[in-house]
Every structure is written in structure tokens, then in C-alpha cells.
Structure 1
Amino acid sequence: MIDTIKWGASIAQIGGYTATGFGFTTWALPFFAVGLLGWLAVGMAWRDRAIVLIHIVAMAAMLTGLATRG
């Protein structure tokens, strides 16, 4: 199960990078959000604090960016 989440999250993040690269910024955020939440779940399941930390920081940055968007 965790392997499925890990690979799904990785594919979602690649989708986010691809969308960003091709200028589809509207699509990038949902892809990144799915990847971020997936990897956060994996980090928690593995009890890997480094993975959890980086994805909590990324989530905070995304939410801050959304909240301050004009």
C-alpha cells in the first residue's frame, strides 16, 4: 500500500513539474498538492522525520502563497 502511495505521489509531483515547465500553472498546484500529501503520508508511515519535515514546510509555503495571492 505504501509503495502505491509513494509511486502515485511521485507521478503527481512529476505532473506538477511538467505543468510548470509548460506554463500550465493552474494545473501545477493540484498535482503538487497530491504529491505533497502522498509523500507526507509515506513519511509518517515510515516514521521518517526528514520526509515529514520537508513536506510540512512545502505545505506551509503553498498555503501561505495561496493565502497571500492577489
Structure 2
Amino acid sequence: MIKIIDRDRTAFIVKWVASVIQIFGYAGTAFGWTPWNLYFFLVGVLGWLFVGVLWNDKAVMMIHFVALGSMLAGMASQ
């Protein structure tokens, strides 16, 4: 069977990229880079949600799905 993606390698890359992007979100919040901080957080949360799917880790998926919903609701109310 041909492997379409290497899940472990993909998860490794996505989790580190998403983590760095979320750190930019924290920095953006600290320095008042609104709305860029939200965009960084949004990308980071989506990355970690994808990692949760790759790992089939329901806890990781749940926390990032809830975070995504909260962020989108907050952004829509502005």
C-alpha cells in the first residue's frame, strides 16, 4: 500500500509551526498588535486541531475545537 502522507512527520512539522505561530499571537497580544494577534492565534489553533486529527487524540481536538469556536464567536461580535 502506498503511503499518501507520513503522519508522524506531518504532525511533527505542523505542531512546531503552529506552536511558533501561537507564540507570535502571544507576543502580538503583549504588544497590542490587534487584530494580528487573533490571526496568529487562529492559524495556530487550526494547526493544533489538525495535529489532533492526525494523532486521533480527542483531548487535543476538543480543546482546540472549543478554542476555535470561542475565537470565531469573539471575532464575530466585534
Sort the TM-score into its range (normalised by shorter chain).
over 0.9
1:6 aligned to 15, 19, 24, which one? 15
Once the 2 structures are TM-superposed, how far is the Cα of residue 47 of structure 1 from its aligned partner? Answer: 0.7
Gaps of 5+ in 2: 1-9
Return the TM-score normalized by structure 2.
Answer: 0.84
What is the CA distance between 1:2 and its match in structure 2?
Answer: 1.3
The structure 2 residue matched to 1:31, chosen from 26, 40, 48, is 40
Per the alignment, residue 60 of structure 1 pairs with 69
Q: Which residue does 2:24 correspond to in 1?
A: 15
- Same amino acid, percent of matched pairs: 51
Verify: 1:45 aligned to 2:61, yes or no: no
Shift of 1:40: 0.2
**TM-score scaled to structure 1, two decimals?**
0.93
Matched residue count: 69
Greater helix proportion: 1
Tell me which moved more, 32-41 or 22-31: 22-31
**Contiguous gaps of at least 5 residues in structure 1:** none
Larger Cα-atom Rg: 2
Q: Following superposition, which runs of at least 4 residues in structure 1 exceed 6 angstroms of deviation?
A: none
Quote the RMSD (CA, aligned, Å).
0.7
